Amino acid sequence: MPRVKLQRFTDNATRPDIIEPGKPEYQQLGGRWRTDFFREPHPLTLEVGCGKGEYTVGLAQRHPGRNFLGLDIKGERIWRGSSRAAEIGLTNVGFVRMRAEDLAAQFGPGELSEIWITFPDPRPRDRDIKRRLTSPRFLGLYEQLLIPGGLLHLKTDNEDLFEYTLEILAARLGTTIERVTRDLYAETASEFIEAQAIQTNFEGKYRSVGVPIKYVQFRLT
């Protein structure tokens, strides 16, 4: 393992804003994130597949009266998000290293107010459908962890994943699609401002070559 990566893993083990396997708090904070992890018991928003934490940190900057968690399986990625949050001096943001499949072991029912899914792996092969983060399996999991009527957002550059998601949402009883666009940055209505306000490096690369960003905001109940 490269020395730099090893040092970052060592850093993660000592950082209080990172929860990961091996730490005593791992899978022990369900139902108590707002009171035992954050300094203020504000509403809790989760970004699933946060990568380098650009979106999680950006949301925390924009909304100091809310708490934010970024989830990713890659320790080096969340090290970057943690470092950026510390550099800015944010206290309303944290990171969890784990797989999305294990969300129910980390959070309690109705603990989340909002979920962002930003540029997930589209999982194009049919055998990977259940691993798509907007599959019925994951939507059921999100519904369990969200407060009644909690918000969900998907941003993606992938047309196939976006169409798949819209089909799944249309077929799911009780689901309400509130905002949807196939070209987010062509929208001028104020209702899209929040989704336009933060742009990751990954997102910028796609926009620079003319790939439109798709976005949908919805509620499951």
- Binding site for substrate: residue ranges? 157, 200-203
Distances (CA, A) of 56 to 8, 111, 161, 198: 19, 17, 22, 10
Q: Residue 18, by phi and psi: left (phi above 0), alpha (psi -120 to 50) or beta?
A: beta
- DSSP class of 140: H
| Nearest in space to 46 (alpha carbons), one of 124, 5, 104 | 104
> Which segments are annotated as binding site for S-adenosyl-L-methionine?
47, 72, 121
What residues does 94 pair with on adjacent strands?
A: 69
Look up residue 160 and give its two tokens: 């196939």
Backbone φ and ψ of 66, nearest 5°? -135, 160
Active-site residues, by number, are 121
> Which segments are annotated as binding site?
47, 72, 121, 157, 200-203
Neighbours of 6 (CB within 10 A): 11
